[in-house]
Amino acid sequence: MASTIVKPQWSFGGVDCRRYVGPQPPPSAKSSSLRAASRGQPSRRLLVVRASENRNDSVKKLGMTDAECEAAVVAGNVPEAPPVPPAPAAPAGTPVVPLLPLSRRPRRNRRSPALRSAFQETSLSPANFVYPLFIHEGEEDTPIGAMPGCYRLGWRHGLVEEVAKARDVGVNSIVLFPKVPDALKSPTGDEAYNDNGLVPRTIRLLKDKYPDLVIYTDVALDPYSSDGHDGIVREDGVIMNDETVHQLCKQAVSQARAGADVVSPSDMMDGRVGAIRAALDAEGFHHVSIMSYTAKYASSFYGPFREALDSNPRFGDKKTYQMNPTNYREALIETREDESEGADILLVKPGLPYLDIIRLLRDNSPLPIAAYQVSGEYSMIKAGGVLKMIDEEKVMMESLMCLRRAGADIILTYFALQAARCLCGEKR
């Protein structure tokens, strides 16, 4: 099993993200105490033994005892040390001005890499990432035009290899999105709960190979709906709420039966979290978590994703169920509902344009918060990088760090592998 434990760190702001600044013992401590620890002996005992050894021996080698050194300084024979370096010169023409009378100069705490990393408030680790992966029935990995670097992965091979690569750099959580053949789509999306469908089959394969992999699934009808909507569409175009929730419960149970760890309703129907919780519990899946898409906005940033799955709504838009991007307070209504219905994790989507919503949920709920850096956000950074308009890697790391700073515990991001490699000091 290819899995490495990594303790990466990334220093934010100008510092090379490949520099590893993890804890390192000072050179002198490396010797006997560490070796003793690795043999399973308590290192403290060894240190005590060392302390009771004949201390004067080692000191005497340097020439004088401590007492002799002190006496020399008291007598005025102060040993030499390098002089204070001269003040660095300013360029010619620099105006000579009186110092501003400032009691606080915040730049003092930013003046060296060591100080900056000491006072860094936010950290980023591969353990924070959930890697969204597109799968299909084919054997080949098909590139997704609107998402450079992303593929529809063959469920049997390409996917398994991608998961191995992610685990190698500490990303052990994935979320699956299936591309379903048109012939299996229907108005009621029944393929969503076929126990032998693409998603349940893939979960079983992955759990067989990597039992400790954390698998998130998407709960919504859109990949299975002939209408391309997240729910069942009535003749007059209305998305039927309670009937859709009935289907979603079956879908979630089918995913749990296959071995999913976290089911994630992204459909935005009312009451689905409570209904799914009850359905899971009734089937004995009380250990399966629910990550609710609490504040999912009707966003144009989903465009590349819909191309990837060929899941564009056949008509209309998703504005009667996904939230209005103008709304802030409404996210609190969804938060209260999801909390009381038993959600384990609350998700905000999209990510970067909705940092205020992430912070709102963070400040109003003790539950873990997830942010989804969606396809459009990913593609914009990729495109800007390809066109050499921005530094792709630095903008990628900054955007992820900002999602964490806003209050996200975990981040669903197509950059998961690339960013984790950067954090681990690998470059490709």
List residues near ligand PBG by CB under 6 A: 218, 220, 222, 230, 266, 302, 305-306, 318, 374-375
**Which residue's CB comes closest to ligand PBG?**
305
Rounded to a whole number of angstroms, the minimum distance from the CB of residue 374 to ligand PBG is 4
318 is catalytic: no
d(CA 23, CA 255): 41
| Burial tier of 345 (Cβ tally within 10 Å: 0-12, 13-18, 19+) | buried
Rounded to a whole number of angstroms, the minimum distance from the CB of residue 187 to ligand PBG is 17
Q: Which is nearer to ligand PBG, 148 or 425 (CB)?
A: 148
Rounded to a whole number of angstroms, the minimum distance from the CB of residue 395 to ligand PBG is 17
Q: Which is nearer to ligand PBG, 248 or 424 (CB)?
A: 248
Q: Which is nearer to ligand PBG, 17 or 159 (CB)?
A: 159
394 is catalytic: no
Give the sign of the dihedral formed by CA 387, CA 384, CA 419, CA 121.
positive
351 closest CA partner among 399, 415, 420, 311? 399
Phi, psi of 281 (to 5 degrees): -65, -40
Q: Which of 179, 185, 349, 382 is catalytic?
A: 349
Rounded to a whole number of angstroms, the minimum distance from the CB of residue 14 to ligand PBG is 30
Q: Which is nearer to ligand PBG, 6 or 374 (CB)?
A: 374
Residue 202's contacts (CB-CB under 8 Å, 6 or more residues apart) are 135, 155, 159, 176, 178
- Tokens 């680790």 belong to 125
Q: Kindly state the helix (H) or strand (E) to which residue 175 belongs, with its residue range.
A: strand 173-178
Q: What tokens were used for 330? A: 């409404």
243 C-beta neighbours (distance < 10 Å), count = 14
Q: Which is nearer to ligand PBG, 150 or 424 (CB)?
A: 150
Rounded to a whole number of angstroms, the minimum distance from the CB of residue 358 to ligand PBG is 16
Rounded to a whole number of angstroms, the minimum distance from the CB of residue 309 to ligand PBG is 8
CA atoms within 13 A on the CB side of 173: 17
Q: Which of 296, 318, 388, 394 is catalytic?
A: 296
Coarse DSSP helix, strand, coil percentages of the chain, rounded to the nearest 5 percent = 45, 15, 45
Residue 424's contacts (CB-CB under 8 Å, 6 or more residues apart) are 6, 8, 126, 169, 170
Q: Which is nearer to ligand PBG, 31 or 300 (CB)?
A: 300
Active site residues per annotation? 296, 349
